[in-house]
Amino acid sequence: MRIRKTATSRRKLLKIAGASALAGMIANRAAAAVRGKVVVIGGGFGGATVAKYLKLHAPDLEVALVERTKEFATCPFSNTVIGGLNELDFITHGYGGLRAAGVEILHDSVVDIDDGRAKIRLAGGEALAYDRLVVSPGIDFKWNAIEGYDESAAERMPHAWSAGSQTALLRRQLEAMEDGGLVVVSVPENPFRCPPGPYERASLIANYLKKTKPRSKVLILDSKDGFSKQRLFEEGWERLYPGMIEWVGFSDGGNVVEVEPKQMIVRTDFEEFRPDVANIVPPQRSALLLDTAGLAEGGDWCRVNQRTFASAVAPNIHVLGDACLAGSMPKSGFSANSQAKACARAIVSHFQGESPPEPALINTCYSLLSESYGISVAAVYRLDKDNQIASIPGASGTSPPNAPAEYRSLEADYARGWYASITAEMFG
């Protein structure tokens, strides 16, 4: 990327964008009471945030959140668990704060969305009616897109791309591996959840191995010829883990096409590998639940009105986060959080009979290469002339290359501060 902004200038930029969005929120707090019911499916970065901000904007609005699990494990910072820097409870959060904010929490699974009747049906048999529905269910995997990689294969070759039991499984496998072993991390083609995530994961695995099993290697097999923050990652690998991490892009034979879990074999277009630990991140799509209402239109992702996040095919339903196509915004936790705030404001405007304001959206993605080495990318987004979300020219930036160790250490601190603040905001 060509932008070379300092961390200080990026923080000022994000403060300005946040202040602009917040001013719009505060200006509408004194509006007349808003009546209606909004049901939210999914309790992650998109769902938890939109539920909270709906109640902040409109305390009289009835808001119910449906989430299968009683505690939510975040994908952001799950790599620190895999790398042994944190325990699983560090990334696990409950819903007490949302309950205290007046959100009704229902721990159940949604089996059907019937927009014609404006109802959803739960696995427990209950039907919930809504005036507006917000769907933020995340991703599903495209099983067998890599030959031999299905749900059962994930128990032998974990993807760990949905945090929780898979996170713990991959960590146990690394702990059990003997010194001198090979760890393979496979990366799918775009788009997928958290584009820098596999490279952060490889870094933190190497960090663990350097301390405990220093003769081991990490091999990244990539279905692409480039990746987010590549220059910064490769600089960090050379500085921290020389000779330990190897990246193989698509053109050099990095595309994984087949696995044999029982034999621990990973095949690319040209080679065969027998790793001791295989972290296979498969191709992804929006959650299959969305197909019950035709929201993905037979494809992988959901088109939305990028001002309000209302579905392009069902205007009473809003789709957030990983499941939707949101212009140039990546699929990240911060993106989902930012989209959720814009969506909440748009829904309240609808109930008030007003036009929704133009959203100011932001994304920041921190990556840890060790406990004291961080890098980041940040961007601010607005609607372009075609009403598509686009980054504002000159309002994006990465960490500078060749920065001193003190700078990278500060970025690592910023990463931990970001995680603490965004999860406190979401889960209260």
Q: What angle do CA 209, 212, 217 make, to 5 degrees?
A: 30
Core vs surface per residue 328-342: b (16+ CB within 10 A) or e: ebbbbbbbbbbbbbb
pLDDT of 10-31, one tens digit each?
A: 444 444 444 444 434 444 444 4
- Sort strands 92-93 and 104-106 into parallel, antiparallel or unpaired: unpaired
HSE-CB at 277 with a 13 A cutoff on CA atoms is 30
Last residue of one domain, picked from the residues 283, 305, 335: 283
- Res 5 pLDDT > 60: no
Cα distance between residue 81 and residue 74, in whole Å: 11
236 or 26, which is more confident: 236
Residues 248 and 171 in one domain: yes
Cα distance between residue 48 and residue 425, in whole Å: 9
Cα distance between residue 238 and residue 227, in whole Å: 17
Residues 345 and 295 in one domain: yes
Residue 421, CA distances (Å) to 75, 415, 424, 426 in order:
16, 10, 5, 9
Residues 328 and 255 in one domain: no
Residues 129 and 221 in one domain: no
- Res 119 pLDDT > 90: yes
Core vs surface per residue 44-69: b (16+ CB within 10 A) or e: bbbbbbbbbbbbebbeebbbbbbbbe
Query: Which pLDDT score is estimated for 32?
Result: 59
Range of the domain at 51: 27-68+108-138+287-358
The lowest-confidence range among 6-20, 227-241, 313-327 is 6-20
What percent of the chain has pLDDT above 70?
A: 93
Last residue of one domain, picked from the residues 261, 283, 305: 283
- Res 367 pLDDT > 70: yes
Query: Which pLDDT score is estimated for 128?
Result: 97
Query: Which pLDDT score is estimated for 276?
Result: 98
Residue 215: CB partners within 8 Å, gap ≥ 6? 179, 180
Mean of the per-residue pLDDT values of the chain: 93
Residue 384: φ, ψ to 5°:
-90, -170
Q: What angle do CA 248, 249, 254 make, to 5 degrees?
A: 70
Residues 192 and 260 in one domain: yes
Bond before 400 cis per omega within 30 degrees = no
E-strand stretches of 131-181? 132-135, 139-141
Last residue of one domain, picked from the residues 358, 376, 398: 358
The lowest-confidence range among 21-30, 139-148, 288-297 is 21-30
Q: Is residue 85 part of a domain?
A: no
pLDDT of 61-99, one tens digit each?
A: 999 999 999 999 999 999 999 999 999 999 999 999 999
Q: Is residue 99 part of a domain?
A: no
What does the pLDDT average to over 146-154? 98
Residues 254 and 319 in one domain: no
Residues 119 and 162 in one domain: no
Q: Is residue 50 part of a domain?
A: yes
pLDDT of 341-365, one tens digit each?
A: 999 999 999 999 999 999 999 999 9
Cα distance between residue 347 and residue 54, in whole Å: 8
Domain CATH number, residue 32? 3.50.50.60
Structurally, how many domains does the chain consist of? 2
What does the pLDDT average to over 280-296? 96
- Res 378 pLDDT > 50: yes
Say if residues 356 and 64 touch (Cβ distance below 8 Å): no
Residues 186 and 278 in one domain: yes
Query: Which pLDDT score is estimated for 107?
Result: 98
Cα distance between residue 281 and residue 175, in whole Å: 20
